[in-house]
Amino acid sequence: MLWNLSLEGQMKKNKSSMSQLEQVLKSGRFAITSELNPPDSADPEDVNRAAMILAGFCDGINAVDASGANCHMSSMSICALLTRVGYEPVYQISCRDRNRIAIQGDILGAAAMGVRNLLCITGDDVSAGDQPGAKPVFDFDSIQLLRTAQMMRDERVFLSGRKITSELPLFLGAAANPFVLPYDWRPKRLAKKIAAGAQFIQTQYCFDVERFREYMRQVRDMGLHEQVYILVGVGPLRSYRAANFMRTKVPGIVIPDEIMDRVKKTPKERQQAEGKKICVEIIQQVREIEGVAGVHIMAYRQEELVTEIVQEAGLLPRR
């Protein structure tokens, strides 16, 4: 059964957000986004330097919101720095640290600074981070956050019903993790996120291409790939040790045994190169899957590699 929604207007209904990322996706070009590792400093140059590398070929740069519940420069301020120099940020908002009052205010503020892309996520629990004693907020969940942002943009009201007095041009995104249980629920959850307002999706790290293929098959069966742009999360493993850490300590990342073995068998000094090679191969494989609109490259503390990955995966020239 094709999901022939009365939500079919979803894509049409959404007014243009003036987002460059949206333009690229709409034009049918294969999109590339990446994330900027937030500095532990108050030095804007740290952000500019990292952004300069990525901006050359990325259609959007994600400003992460204390990912893994570790404290860094805030996503809002990174966005402010990026829009100042004309880069295209994707503002990540997690539900972990702020309540609905703060979040709605931040959405307006971000848009005022020129932010056009919003990524609404639940967020890792505080227990995953460096300050596990912090109070977890979770006033919203990611779907409630999406729906609220959609309502603010389309109906121009806050949750309270109070009016918003200007346009709020936003391109709304959400995360998806096809690699964790319950597998059958994941495409249905995607449908829910689309209904709640998601126009683009950035997935969790994809290392299990077969699982992803199956997920996309279900997504296509439901007709969802025509209602949302799916960017597949990819990234280079730095070493066997790093891979093992991601696999066991970071919630939601699934790395199949074959990939672990492949990195393990590689001599230590060549593991980073092998990790990069695996990433390039995965990009080439997922690119062939119908319904994939782009990749989201997450290279934690290896930004310099992103350029090489994009080049070696045959994604250049970009403009």
Partner 1 sequence: MVLEWIYDLTYALLKPFKKFLKPNSFAEKAMISIEKVGKGVVFDCQMCGQCILHSTGMVCSMNCPKNLRNGPCGGVRLNGHCEVKPEQTCVWVKIYEGSLASPKYGSEIMWIQPPVDRTLQDSSSWVNLLHGIDQKMKTVWQTQDEKDALEPIFRGSNEKE
Asked if 221 interacts with partner 1 (CB under 8 A), we say yes
The CA-to-CA distance between both ends of the chain, in Å, stands at 39
Dist CA 51 CA 149 (whole Å): 26
CB of 277 to partner 1, least distance (A): 25
Asked if 196 interacts with partner 1 (CB under 8 A), we say yes
Single residue of 11, 108, 209, 254 touching partner 1 by CB under 8 A? 254
CB of 7 to partner 1, least distance (A): 6
Which span sits near partner 1 by CB under 8 A: 19-27, 177-185, 287-295, 302-310? Answer: 177-185
Instruction: Give whichever of 53 and 164 is closer to partner 1, judged by the CB atom.
Output: 164
Asked if 33 interacts with partner 1 (CB under 8 A), we say no
With contact defined as beta carbons under 8 Å apart, do 279 and 209 qualify? no
Q: Which residue has the tokens 């740290």?
A: 46
Single residue of 23, 70, 77, 144 touching partner 1 by CB under 8 A? 144
Alpha-carbon dihedral sign for residues 117, 121, 124, 126: positive
Single residue of 109, 129, 136, 169 touching partner 1 by CB under 8 A? 136
Asked if 68 interacts with partner 1 (CB under 8 A), we say no
Instruction: Give whichever of 185 and 245 is closer to partner 1, judged by the CB atom.
Output: 185
Single residue of 27, 160, 165, 166 touching partner 1 by CB under 8 A? 160
Q: How many CA atoms lie within 13 A of 10 on its CB side?
A: 24
Single residue of 191, 201, 206, 295 touching partner 1 by CB under 8 A? 191
Instruction: Give whichever of 188 and 277 is closer to partner 1, judged by the CB atom.
Output: 188
161: left (phi over 0), alpha (psi -120 to 50) or beta: left
Asked if 155 interacts with partner 1 (CB under 8 A), we say yes
Single residue of 28, 86, 133, 182 touching partner 1 by CB under 8 A? 182
Instruction: Give whichever of 257 and 269 is closer to partner 1, judged by the CB atom.
Output: 257
Dist CA 127 CA 104 (whole Å): 25
Dist CA 10 CA 150 (whole Å): 11
CB of 192 to partner 1, least distance (A): 6
Single residue of 164, 195, 209, 260 touching partner 1 by CB under 8 A? 195
Asked if 300 interacts with partner 1 (CB under 8 A), we say no
Strand partners, 292: 230
Asked if 187 interacts with partner 1 (CB under 8 A), we say yes
Please give the residue ranges that form the binding site for partner 1 (CB under 8 A): 1, 3, 5-7, 95-96, 100, 122, 124-125, 127-128, 136, 138-144, 147-148, 151, 155, 157, 159-161, 175-177, 180-182, 184-185, 187-189, 191-192, 195-196, 204, 218, 221-222, 251-252, 254
